[in-house]
Amino acid sequence: METTTIISIIVALGLGFIAGLFISKILQNKKGSTIIKTAKRTAANRVKAAHKEAESIKKDKILQAKERFIELKAEHEKVVLAREKKIVDVEKRIREKESQLASELDKNRRLNKEIISKQKDYDYKLEFLEKKQVEVDKVHKRQIEQLEVISGISAEDAKADLVKSLKDEAKSDAMSYVQDILEEAKLTAEQEARKIILNTIQRVGVEQSIENCVSVFNLESDDVKGRIIGREGRNIRAIEAATGVEIIVDDTPEAIILSCFDPVRREVARLSMHNLVTDGRIHPARIEEVVKKTEKQIQQEIVEVGKRTVIDLGIHGLHPELIKTVGRMKFRSSYGQNLLQHSREVANLCALMATELGLNPKIAKRAGLLHDIGKVPDTETELPHALLGMQWAEKYGEKQDVCNAIGAHHDEIEMKSLYAPIVQVCDAISGARPGARRQVLDSYIQRLKDLEDLAFGFSGVQKAYAIQAGRELRVLVESTKVSDDKAAELSFGISQKIQNDMTYPGQVKVTVIRETRAVNVAK
């Protein structure tokens, strides 16, 4: 502010100086004394006014500076007082903390003294107990030595005998407990399971027909046989080449036998023969034409059969390729059982059993119909039919429950839903019934022999017979080597061995027979 006052004074002096120059210039030019005098008076007045204004500004600035100084001094004093108050508070807290630490230090010192005292007592007691333990061990050792002298056996032998006795007793008790549990489970679970299965089977009754590898084509008269054979057998050779079916013309009156393991090719040959005989024109060119036309008809029939099947079963939304696969099952057989009839029966059984168990019958029926689609592949594959069918079902958008039931019905994969065991059980019901399927004689005899050999692998077995078409195994044991308790254990062990090591349809009942004979001779 003083700087502003000085500047104002300088400006006033400058103005006066400029006015003086102006006046002197006027005097030099001699333009009139009146103007000069007036200018001088004006300049003097302005200088006086400037001095007065400068003094007034100076006084104001000095007053403002004093007031500002007083304000700054008051603020500084407030800050100093606040800092002094904080210092006093900090010193007070420090004194309190020092007092608290001192009391805790005294307390810790007392606790340390008590701990040291207790540690000394503990060491003394521990030393005393160790001495007593040594004395007890010596007394125990002397007692064991005395017992060994009295009994005549060592402690290790006595311990081994005791362990063996306890082990045999525990094993016998465990077998008894297992048998009780199994019997109790059979009285409840097996009764209910049989009820469900029997109700399901009773509600589905179908006729069983065994598929053969031959078909009989009936003729109106034996004269037609010569036309079918043709000159030097050219017609019959053309039919066999076009269809891949062996044609047997023998002395059977009014009949020709068509032999082929493939039912589709056998059906093509049968329909072709029917068309040729009806038309009357039988020669190689006509034969090839009729066979090609018949093959197209068979493919259309496959699709129609698939559609009729899914409509009859009430299955909706099935992919067209799966429908075609279902139709092809009509011309396939499994162990002599028609595959389509088997799949339809399994589908109905699954639906009924799922209803009994409170599950969705539509999903069960779908899985039952599709469970064997892997048996009708377009090309040969080494993949098991259950896994192949599961891949097809996944490819054509079937649900996970259906796919898992298809893949797991022969235990190739883990069962992840309740529909999988239902399909497995219904498949066994349909296929394992007497007359439903037939096995090759050699494999059947070998399976019975394997059952008997498995029983001879157990100790004490004297004789073993597989009866009831391999569904029961009767085992005769030596009474001197196998007790009554051991007989039950042996029956359980043989059944588990069969379950783990052999593949068989249905169930195998194991019966162990123990006979005691007392023989004397009267002379």
What is the residue extent of each domain of the chain? 2-147, 214-294, 332-432, 441-514
* DSSP 8-state class, residue 463: E
What is the sign of the dihedral through the CA atoms of 455, 460, 463 and 469?
Answer: negative
Reading the chain (523 residues) residue by residue, the pLDDT tens digits are 556 667 777 776 777 777 667 666 665 665 556 766 787 788 788 888 888 888 888 888 888 888 888 888 888 888 888 888 889 888 888 988 888 888 888 888 888 888 888 888 878 888 888 888 888 888 877 777 777 677 666 667 767 766 777 777 777 777 777 777 767 666 665 566 656 555 555 555 444 444 456 677 777 777 777 888 788 788 887 887 777 677 777 777 778 888 766 677 788 888 888 888 888 888 888 888 888 898 888 888 888 989 998 998 888 888 989 998 888 888 777 666 778 888 888 898 899 888 888 889 899 999 999 988 888 877 667 788 888 989 999 999 899 999 999 998 888 888 888 888 888 888 888 776 554 454 444 465 567 778 878 888 888 888 787 766 677 787 888 888 888 888 888 888 888 888 888 877 668 888 888 877 676 778 7
Three-state SS across 321-360? HHHHHHHHHHHCEECCEEHHHHHHHHHHHHHHHHHHCCCC
In the sheet where 255-259 sits, what is the strand order? 214-218, 255-259, 246-248
For residue 27, the model assigns a pLDDT of: 58
Beta strand pairing status for 472-477 and 509-514?
parallel
**Can you read off the two tokens belonging to residue 2?**
């003083």
Report how far residue 248's alpha carbon sits from residue 255's, in angstroms, rounded to the nearest whole number. Answer: 9
Taking all residues of the chain, what is their mean pLDDT, rounded to a whole number?
79
What pLDDT is recorded for position 403? 92
Calpha distance 353→360 (Å, rounded): 10
Q: What pLDDT sits at residue 404?
A: 92
Can you tell me the distance from the alpha carbon of 168 to that of 350, in angstroms, rounded to the nearest whole number? 46
CATH code for the structural domain at 441-514: 3.30.70.1350
Residues with Cβ within 8 Å of 471's Cβ and at least 6 positions away in sequence, in order, are 506, 507, 508, 509
CB environment 262-277: b (16+ within 10 A), e (fewer): ebbbbbbbbbbbebbb
The third-level CATH classification (topology) of the domain covering 332-432 is Hypothetical protein af1432 (1.10.3210)
Task: Write the Ramachandran bin of 393: left for phi over 0, alpha for psi from -120 to 50, otherwise beta.
Answer: alpha
Q: Report the SS3 class of residue 483.
A: coil
CA angle 31, 32, 33 (to 5 degrees): 140
Q: Which of 436, 435, 431, 443 is nearest to 503 (CA)?
A: 443
Q: Quick one: pLDDT at residue 210?
A: 44
b or e along 134-170 (b: 16 or more beta carbons within 10 Å of the residue's beta carbon)?
eeeeeeeeeeeeeeeeeeeeeeeeeeeeeeeeeeeee
Residue 81 corresponds to which amino acid? L
Roughly how many angstroms between the first and final C-alpha of the chain, as a whole number?
161
Query: How far does CA 196 lie from the centroid of its chain?
Result: 29
| pLDDT tens, position by position, 374-429 | 888 776 677 888 889 899 999 998 999 999 999 988 888 888 888 888 888 888 88
Three-state SS annotation for 176-226? HHHHHHHHHHHHHHHHHHHHHHHHHHHHCCCCCCECCCEEEEECCCCHHHH
pLDDT of 227: 80
pTM of the model: 0.45
The CB density around residue 488, as the number of other CB atoms within 10 Å, is 16
Which helix (H) or strand (E) segment holds residue 465: the answer is: strand 461-467
pLDDT at 208: 46
Cα–Cα dist 13/48, whole Å: 10
3-state secondary structure of 511: strand
pLDDT at residue number 190:
58
| Residues 6 or more apart whose Cβ sits within 8 Å of residue 37 | none
To which H or E segment does residue 457 belong?
none
**Distance (Å) of CA 27 to CA 18, 36, 45, 306:** 14, 7, 19, 138
Instruction: For residues 208 and 172, give the distance between their C-alpha atoms in angstroms, rounded to a whole number.
Output: 48
Q: What CA dihedral angle connects 451, 457, 458 and 461, to 10 degrees?
A: 70
d(CA 395, CA 397): 6
- State residue 182's pLDDT score: 67
- Residue whose tokens read 């009820």: 195
Burial group, residue 174, by CB count within 10 angstroms (0-12, 13-18, 19+): exposed
Per the CB < 8 A criterion, the answer to whether 431 and 342 are in contact is: yes
- pLDDT at residue 114, as a whole number: 84
What whole-number distance in Å separates Cα of residue 261 and Cα of residue 109? Answer: 102
| Residue 482 · residue 514 · CB < 8 Å | yes
Q: What is the pLDDT of residue 261?
A: 62
Instruction: Report yes or no: 354 and 363 within 8 Å, Cβ to Cβ.
Output: yes
pLDDT of residue 9: 72
CB–CB of 378/397 below 8 Å? no
Helix (H, G, I), strand (E, B) or coil at 481: coil
- Which structure tokens are listed for 95? 């004194």
Residue 226 is predicted with a pLDDT of 80
Does domain 214-294 match CATH 3.30.1370.10? yes
